[in-house]
Structure 1
Amino acid sequence: MFMSDGWGRVYRINLTKGDRGYIDWVFDPDTDPELATGILNNRGVALLGDSIFSVTPDCALVRVNKETGELVWRVETQQNPVEYCTMAPLAIDGKIIIGPAGGDGPMRGRLEAYNPEDGSAIWDFQTILDESYKEGGETGGGAVWVTGSFNPDRNELVWGIGNPYPDWEPQKRPGDNLYTNSTVALDANTGKLNWHFQYTPNDSWDFDEVGTQQLIDAMINGKAQQLVAHFGRNGFFYGLDAANGAYVNGSQYAQKVNWTKGIDPKTGKPLEYDPSLDVQTYLPESRMTAGPSDMAPDFKFCPYWEGGVNMFPTTYSAKTKLVYGLLMEGCTFNPADRPEGEEGYITGALVAVDPSTGQVVKRHEFSATGRGGTVSTAGGVVFGTSSNGDIFALDDTSLERLWNFNVGTMIDAPPIVFAINGKQYVALAVGPGGVGLGYHHYPSKSSDADEALAASHFQPASTMYLFSL
C-alpha cells in the first residue's frame, strides 16, 4: 500500500502479513512551510508503471521509484503564493493530471497535464474565463482541490470545479463566473473543453462542486444511457448526460435547503436563475449582505457551508444500482448569532439515490456529521465514516447498521477495500486533516451530549486501521 500524509510524505507499507503492516520506506519531499500556504492536506498518490506520482502541499509534482522510494524527478507547479495543492494526481495513458487548491483566495484555477517520463508540461485548462478574472487579487477561484474521473469510452476527463473568489460577495464578480461550481469534460489529449454544466451560477455560499463525478451506465426511460452522477454540495443530486452534459434528472437530497426553491426539471438550473442578470438574487434572505466582515446579524443558509456532500467520495453499487452519498445536515449562521439547540446542530446522513430516476430511495440518519466518505462492496455492504470517529457498515438495501468501530479521533479520509491472497480487507487512514483540523468546533454543534464531550477531547492522530471484510 502507498499512502501520503499532510506534509506530502509518501509511505510504502507492506501488508503481506495480513494482520499487520510494515513501513518499507518513507519519501520526504521537504515541503517548504512558507510555500505551503493553505490547509495541510494530501489526498493520495497515483501509481503508473514503476513509479509513484504525488503532489506536495507546496505544489511540486514528484515522481518516485516505487521499489526504492528514491526521487526520479521533481517539477515546481505553483504559480501564485496563495495556491497550495491537495489532490491525488490522476494517471492516464501518457499523462499525469493535477491542479491546485486555494480557490478561497485570489488565484486562478486550472487543470494541467504532465509527461510522466520527464515531467514536461503537455497542456493546461483555465477554469476561470478571462472576463471573470482580474489580476491583482480582486477575483479568481475555480480551484480543483480533488481528483476527477476519466471516461475511457470518450477519452474525456470529467472534473468538478470549485467556487469563485471572493467567496461570499457575488456583486464583486458579476456574471455566471464560469467555470466555477461546474462539472467540465475535457479532451484528455488536448485539454480542450467538450462540455460543461454549472450548478450554482454566481455562487455566494462556497458551494464548490469538486466532489465525486461518477460515471454510471443506467436505464433512463427504458433506454441505456451513460450518466455523470453527482451529489452537489448545494443540496441537490444531479444526473447529467455523459455525452454532452445535458441535465437528465435530479432531486433534493439534503433536507435543509433554503438558498433556492428548487431546480428546474428541464434545465437543472436553480428556479430563480435569470441569465440576464449580472448578479443573481436567488432567495436574498439566505445571503450575507456583504463580506464576512459585514455579516447580516440573522443570516442563515442551508445546506451548511461544507455541504451537503462535500469532497468526500461517494459510491455506486453495481448490485443495487444505487449511488450512496454521505452528507452533513444543517445550516450556516452568523457565528455571533448561532441558535442554541436543535436548529443550530449539524448532524449527518447517508442517502441512497436511484440514478435512473434521480430520486432518493433510502436515508439513514446520524447524530454526527458525515465525513470521510463511502465505499460499497459486492457483498451487500456500504462502509462509511463520521466526524465522531465512527467507521460503520450499513446494509446496502435497508441501510440498517451492521457494524460499528470508533477510532477515538476525527476521520477525514474514506475507507477502501482490497484483497491480498484472496482475502478482502477494509482500510482507513485516521486523523484530522483539511477543514477537519477544526474538530474542536464540532462539539458545540452536536446533538449528542456524549459525542460532543468525546469530540472535545479528541487528539490529533495518524494511524492506518485495517479490518478483514
Structure 2
Amino acid sequence: FPNNTFAINLDTLEIVWEYVPVQDYDETVPVMCCDTVNRGLGYGDGKILLQQADTTLVALDAKTGEVVWSVKNGDPKLGETNTNAPHVMKDKVITGISGAEFGVRCWINAYNLSDGSLAWRAYSMGPDEDMLMDPEKTTSLGQPVGKDSSLKTWEGDQWKIGGGSTWGWWPFDKERNAFYVGTGNPSTWNPVVRPGDNKWSMSIFSRDVDTGIAHWVYQMTPHDEWDYDGVNEMILVDLEVKGKETKALVHFDRNGFAYTLDRTNGALLVAEKFDPAVNWATHIDMKTGRPQVDARYSPEAHGEDVNATNICPAALGTKDQQPAAYSPR
C-alpha cells in the first residue's frame, strides 16, 4: 500500500510514467491480512495488471500508463482485500481474494483480459455450483467428490463465512489447460465452533483456465487448528517418482509436509516432513491423505482456557511464502 506503479526506462533509469491509485486508507488497511504488502504485477496483451489492496483490478496501457479498464473484485467494507499478484493465462486474468480472518467466503476469479468482464468465479467452499465442482467428474485421491462434498463438512450454514483465502501463486500447465491454486485457513479461527473437515479450505485445486471447473482437489490440513494456510507455490515438474516418469506437482506446505502429486489426476505420491521438528502430526496416511494429528499439539484437544505450547510449526509455518525452486541436479 498504496500500490503506486511505475514504468522505468532501463537505459536512462528515468520514470516513463507513474500510476497513483486512489484508495481509502481507513477503509482498507485495517482489514488487510497480513501486512500492507503487494505481491507484484501481471502483464499480457500490452497491459500491466495491478491488483490494488482495495480489491480494484486495473489494466494499464504498458506504454502510457493510461487506464484501459478497471473492476472491483471485492469490498473492503466486508473485510475483503487483495495482496496477490494477478496472473495472466491465455485471455484471462486470474486473481484471488483475502479476508478469511474476517469471515469472508473466499474465491478465485477470472476476468477477460480484453475488457475486464467477469468470466467465472469459483468459491473455496459451499454448494457445488458455487465452487464449480462436478460431483461425478471432480475427484479427490482418484474418487469422485460426490454431491455437496463441501457442505457436508460444515455445521449448518457456517460455510457462508468459511474463509479459504486465495492470496498465493498459481502455475499454469499449458498442455492441460489447467492451473493450480491453494486455499487458506477456514473461518473462524476457533476450531471448536466449526466442527468437521471444513472443505475445501487448506486444499490444492486443479482448475480449467477457460471455465474454472475443478478437475481434482486435495485437502492437506482438514479442520485446521493452526492457521497453516495452504497457499504456498506449486512447482510443476516432470520427474521420476518411485521409478515412474511423472507429470508432478510439488508443494512445500506451511504445515511442514512436502507433497508430490500427479498433476494430471491429483494422485498423492509422496507426503513427508521436510523438517524433522514438525510435531503437530506424526505422518500422512497415504491411503486417506489425512494427517495423523498428535493430540498433545492440538489446541482444540486441550480445551478452553488452556494454552497449548511447543507446537511445531507455529502459524508462520515451517516454510512461509519464500518460494522454492526445482533443479534437475
- Pair in the same fold by TM > 0.5: yes
1:228 to 249, 268, 277: 249
Q: In 2, Cα distance between the equivalents of 1:304 and 1:239? A: 23
Structure holding more strand per residue: 1
Q: 1:83-232 alignment to 2 at 5 Å?
A: 83-130=80-127, 131=151, 132=154, 139-167=161-189, 169-232=190-253
Q: In 2, Cα distance between the equivalents of 1:107 and 1:57? A: 15
Structure 1 residues 133 and 150: CA distance shift in structure 2, 3 A: farther
Q: In 1, Cα distance between the equivalents of 2:27 and 2:320? A: 26
Q: In 2, Cα distance between the equivalents of 1:261 and 1:242? A: 25
Give the length in aligned residue pairs: 299
Structure 1 residues 299 and 267: CA distance shift in structure 2, 3 A: same
Report SS of the residue matched to 2:113.
Answer: coil
Is the 2:158–2:194 contact (alpha carbons within 8 Å) kept by the matching residues of 1?
no
Identity of aligned residues (%): 33
Residues 153-200 of structure 1: CA deviation (Å, up to 9, x unaligned): 110110111010112x22311221111111001111111111001111
- In the other structure, the counterpart of 1:51 is 47
Structure 1 residues 291 and 161: CA distance shift in structure 2, 3 A: farther
Following TM superposition, by how much is the alpha carbon of 1:210 offset from its aligned partner in structure 2, in angstroms?
0.2
Residues 250-279 of structure 1: CA deviation (Å, up to 9, x unaligned): 3211232121111124444213xxxxxxxx
- In the other structure, the counterpart of 1:287 is 298
1:239 to 255, 260, 284: 260
1:10 to 1, 5, 14: 5
TM-score by length of 2: 0.84
Is the 2:93–2:112 contact (alpha carbons within 8 Å) kept by the matching residues of 1?
yes
Report SS of the residue matched to 1:34.
Answer: helix
Q: Which AA in structure 2 matches 1:176? A: D
Q: In 1, Cα distance between the equivalents of 2:211 and 2:125? A: 18
Is the 2:184–2:202 contact (alpha carbons within 8 Å) kept by the matching residues of 1?
yes
Following superposition, which runs of at least 4 residues in structure 1 exceed 6 angstroms of deviation? 133-138
2:326 to 316, 321, 340: 316
Is the 1:125–1:191 contact (alpha carbons within 8 Å) kept by the matching residues of 2?
yes
- In the other structure, the counterpart of 1:450 is none
Q: In 2, Cα distance between the equivalents of 1:116 and 1:172? A: 41
Q: In 1, Cα distance between the equivalents of 2:324 and 2:4? A: 26
Q: Which AA in structure 1 matches 2:82? A: C
Is the 1:142–1:181 contact (alpha carbons within 8 Å) kept by the matching residues of 2?
yes
Q: In 2, Cα distance between the equivalents of 1:64 and 1:313? A: 27
Q: In 2, Cα distance between the equivalents of 1:258 and 1:86? A: 30
Bigger-Rg structure (1/2): 1
Structure 1 residues 149 and 35: CA distance shift in structure 2, 3 A: farther
Report SS of the residue matched to 1:301.
Answer: coil
Is the 1:114–1:122 contact (alpha carbons within 8 Å) kept by the matching residues of 2?
yes
Structure 1 residues 141 and 51: CA distance shift in structure 2, 3 A: same
Structure 1 residues 240 and 295: CA distance shift in structure 2, 3 A: farther
Q: Which AA in structure 1 matches 2:169? A: T
Gaps of 5+ in 2: 128-150
Residues 95-149 of structure 1: CA deviation (Å, up to 9, x unaligned): 1001101222200110111011111111010101243487799841101011211
Q: State the structure with bigger RCO (CA 8 A, min sep 6), 1 or 2.
A: 2
Is the 2:297–2:308 contact (alpha carbons within 8 Å) kept by the matching residues of 1?
no
Q: In 2, Cα distance between the equivalents of 1:204 and 1:211? A: 18
TM-score by length of 1: 0.60
Gaps of 5+ in 1: 1-5, 272-281, 321-469
Structure 1 residues 138 and 116: CA distance shift in structure 2, 3 A: closer
Is the 1:107–1:137 contact (alpha carbons within 8 Å) kept by the matching residues of 2?
no
